[in-house]
Structure 1
Amino acid sequence: MTALSAEARGAIGDLNARFAWALDLHDFEALRSILTPDVHYVSVGREFHDVESTIASFRARTATRMTRHGLGNLLLESVADDQVRGRSSWHTFASNDDPPGPGVALFMVADFADLYRRTAQGWRIAERIITPVFRDPALAPGAPASSPS
């Protein structure tokens, strides 16, 4: 195992921020520069084994869905010169209403187990396994929007 450089730590932190913004802004094409072509992505009953099906799953979400993702407690461990394992805690605020949503609601707090791979284009997410800790099904993608008061 090799020591992880400050440069690699910074690049992986930036990669996670770009992932969150891509989801939150529905910039699904940006995911191509974040995920490896053979990404293994698992989240709440969904599992994908390539970038195209992973992106398609995000595109299929409700057009009015609004989210904001945040991450914390990022731990990184080098497992090879070009691979790093990561663990982090993420929180997602969500609304299925037209923007702006009716209020701030916590959809999910989850643990992320990741494998990052250095490619010729830079660090990419090669595997992401999401395990919910807290989750509100009423705020899941595709759940009905809230009723007007």
Structure 2
Amino acid sequence: MTARCVPPAERAAIEELNARFAWALDLGEFDNLRQVFTSEARYVSGERIYAGVDAIVSRFTARTGPRTTRHGWSSLTLQATGDKIYGLSSWYTFAANQDAPISGTGVYLVADFVDIYVSIADVGWRIAERTIHPVFKDERLAPT
């Protein structure tokens, strides 16, 4: 199958999708992840694999205690093949297990994200698979 360039409108839609993912986590609005992932999505983080959007949402709602995060990403590359777009990006997470405002918070994680995006009729772009490959990690800032 031949790869094609990703048109600017599709790239913008995927960047918006990634922003909605980050804000859902950062604001603790985990149900909003249902508008980010497909219903059968796979989310792989280290050794943990979550299958289906319900499992993905439950992964985040199961956390206890205060948690403040801010996620960001850069270096998004996209390649389209058939009806899918494959993405690679570098993400970082500032985190603390306390409520904001926080003084002196460090970077919890820098990771490479490998994604598969699909377009769903009358819905738009969604993440069908997201695999997180940690590069740098400070376990002291891990969620409780």
Moved over 3 A (4+): none
If the length of structure 1 is used for normalisation, what is the TM-score? 0.91
Q: What are the within-5 Å matches in structure 2 for residues 130-149 of structure 1?
A: 130-142=132-144
Name which of 21, 24, 36 aligns with 1:22.
24
Deviation of 1:116 (Å): 0.3
Q: How does 1:1-149 map to 2 (within 5 A)?
A: 1-80=3-82, 82-120=83-121, 121-142=123-144
- Higher mean C-alpha deviation, range 58-67 or range 94-103: 94-103
Alpha-carbon distance in structure 1 between the residues aligned to 2:41 and 2:114: 13
List alignment gaps of at least 5 residues for structure 1.
Answer: 143-149
Take 2:80 and 2:23, find their aligned partners in 1: how far apart are those partners?
A: 25
Q: Given that residues 64 and 99 in structure 1 are in contact (C-alpha distance below 8 angstroms), is that contact kept between their aligned partners in structure 2?
A: no
Q: In percent, how many aligned pairs have the same letter? A: 48
Q: Report the AA paired with residue 79 of structure 1.
A: T
Asked whether the 8 Å contact 1:114–1:128 carries over to 2, the reply is: yes
1:147 is aligned to: none
SS at match of 1:141: coil
Counterpart-to-counterpart distance in 1, 2:119 and 2:135: 29
C-alpha displacement of 1:2: 3.2
Describe the shift of the 1:62–1:44 C-alpha distance in structure 2 as closer, same or farther (beyond 3 A). farther
Distance 1:98 1:28 in 2: 17
- CA deviation map 1:100-140 (0-9, x unaligned): 23422100000000000001200000000000000011111
Separation in structure 2 between the aligned mates of residue 98 and residue 71 of structure 1, nearest angstrom: 23
TM-score by length of 2: 0.94
| Gaps in structure 2 of 5+ consecutive residues | none
Q: 99-108 or 15-24, which moves further after superposition?
A: 99-108
Aligned Cα root-mean-square deviation (Å): 1.1
Query: Following TM superposition, by how much is the alpha carbon of 1:45 offset from its aligned partner in structure 2, in angstroms?
Result: 2.5
**Corresponding residue pairs, total:** 141
Distance in 1 of aligned mates of 2:46 and 2:40: 20
8 Å CA contact 1:93–1:108 kept in 2: the answer is yes
Contact 1:110 1:130 in 2 (8 A): yes
Partner AA of 1:91 in structure 2: Y
